[in-house]
Every structure is written in structure tokens, then in C-alpha cells.
Amino acid sequence: GQNIDQPTEMTATEGAIVQINCTYQTSGFNGLFWYQQHAGEAPTFLSYNVLDGLEEKGRFSSFLSRSKGYSYLLLKELQMKDSASYLCAVPPPFSGGYNKLIFGAGTRLAVHP
């Protein structure tokens, strides 16, 4: 089966850097997704990692270590609009092209002035 763990809540200051961690256990790895969800809105795609290392996309970066079952999302130069929930998700093994996802409970980030 799959198990995904994320911290429930985090707080940070505007302009700072925050790292949101995600650990997963899966019997077969097919990559890891990060989504952002503002309160009352739809989740939106942030990143997909399937190889080890850091992928940078503007202020947001995502890191993966397959051997450790670990990923993190790094948010730099935090802005108030980054206050949202961040969802870590992995496809279950043998899900083929069906793109099913197993989600963690999400990390609610509050950015303060």
C-alpha cells in the first residue's frame, strides 16, 4: 500500500523561505506530484518529480530522494498569496496511464507580514 506523511500546518514570514516536507512509502514508485490549493478553490498543479534531485521553477522548487522516500517543496521570497494548502501525491503502483493519485493530508501554510 501507500502511505504519505506531511506536516499539518506551518507558518512563515513574508519574504522568507519555507520548506514543506513529504515522506512516502509505496511498493512501486511512479513519481511524486505537488499541488497547491487555496482555501475554497481547486487544487492546481505545481510540480512532478520522478528522478532524484532538485527541480526549480521560479520561486518554487521541488526535491526528490527516491532512496529515502522523501520530497520537499521549497518556497522562496514568500508572498501573502502563498498562504494555501500544499498537497503531496503519488500514483499507486501499476496504475498505468490512469493517473490515479494517492494524496497526503496536505500542509496548510500561513504567511504572515
Contact residues for other proteins (CB under 8 A)? 4, 8, 30-31, 33, 40-45, 48, 50, 87, 89, 91, 95-106
**At a CB cut-off of 8 Å and minimum separation 6, what does 96 contact?**
none
In the complex, least distance from residue 13 CB atom to other proteins, rounded to whole angstroms: 25
Q: Which is nearer to other proteins, 87 or 109 (CB)?
A: 87
Count CA atoms within 13 Å of residue 89 on its CB side: 20
In the complex, least distance from residue 103 CB atom to other proteins, rounded to whole angstroms: 4
Q: Which is nearer to other proteins, 48 or 77 (CB)?
A: 48
Count CA atoms within 13 Å of residue 108 on its CB side: 4
In the complex, least distance from residue 12 CB atom to other proteins, rounded to whole angstroms: 21
**At a CB cut-off of 8 Å and minimum separation 6, what does 19 contact?**
72, 73, 74, 75
In the complex, least distance from residue 11 CB atom to other proteins, rounded to whole angstroms: 18
- Tell me which DSSP letter residue 92 carries: P
Q: Which is nearer to other proteins, 69 or 104 (CB)?
A: 104
